[in-house]
Chains A and B, each alone.
Chain A
Amino acid sequence: MNVASRLPDTSAAALADRPAQSAKPPFLGFGLGLRHQHYDEILNGNPPIDWFEVISENYMLPGGQPLRALDRICERYPVVMHGVSLSIASTAPPNFEYLQALKDLARRVEPKWISDHLCWTGVHGKNLHDLLPIPYTREALDHVVSRVQLVQDFLGRAIVLENVSTYVQFNNSEMTEWEFLSELSRRSGCGLLFDINNVYVSAFNHGYDPLTFLNGIPADRVVQFHMAGHSHMGTHIIDTHDHPVCEDVWDLYVAALKRFGRVSTMIERDDNIPPLDELLVEVVRTREIAEKVLPTGKQAG
Chain B
Amino acid sequence: MSDFARQQAEFQRGILSDDDTVLAEILDSPREKREALFGVYRYAYGSRLVEAVRNDHELLHLYLGDEMFDEMGHAYVKAYPSEHPNLRWFSRSLPDFLRSNAPYSDHPVLSDLAALEKALNDAFDAAEGAVVELTEMAGFAPEAWSDLRFRAHSSAFRLDLATNASAIWLALKNDETPPEATALDQPARLLIWRQDVTPMFRELSAEEAMMWDEAVNGISFGVLCEMLATYDDPDGAAGRGAGYLHGWITAGLLTGVSVGKIDS
Contacts and interface: CB of A to CB of B under 8 A. Distances in A.
A228 B150 CA distance: 51
Nearest to B128: A63
Nearest to B38: A168
Interface string B206-232: 000000000000000000000000000
Determine the main DSSP class of B at the interface with A.
Answer: helix
A171 B26 contact: yes
A129 B41 contact: no
A57 B34 CA distance: 32
**Which of B12, B81, B83 has the most C-beta atoms of chain A within 10 angstroms of its own C-beta?**
B12
B126 A64 contact: yes
B26 A168 contact: yes
Contacts of B7: 135, 170, 172
A126 B26 contact: no
Interface in A98-152: 98, 120-130, 132, 134-135, 137, 139-140, 143
Contact of B85 (A57, A124, A234, A238): A57
Contacts, number: 140
Contact of B12 (A65, A128, A172): A128
Nearest to A56: B86
Nearest to A144: B4
B201 interface: no
Determine the main DSSP class of A at the interface with B.
Answer: loop
Contacts of A168: 26-27, 29, 34, 37-38, 41
B124 A124 contact: no
A18 interface: no
A64 B85 contact: no
A207 B37 CA distance: 14
Contacts of A276: none
B144 to A, nearest CB: 31
Interface of A: 57-58, 60-68, 85, 87, 90-91, 95, 98, 120-130, 132, 134-135, 137, 139-140, 143, 167-172, 205-207, 234-236, 238
Nearest 6 interchain pairs by C-beta: A85-B85, A207-B30, A64-B125, A91-B5, A62-B127, A65-B197
7 contacts: A57-B86, A58-B88, A60-B88, A121-B85, A124-B12, A127-B83, A235-B36
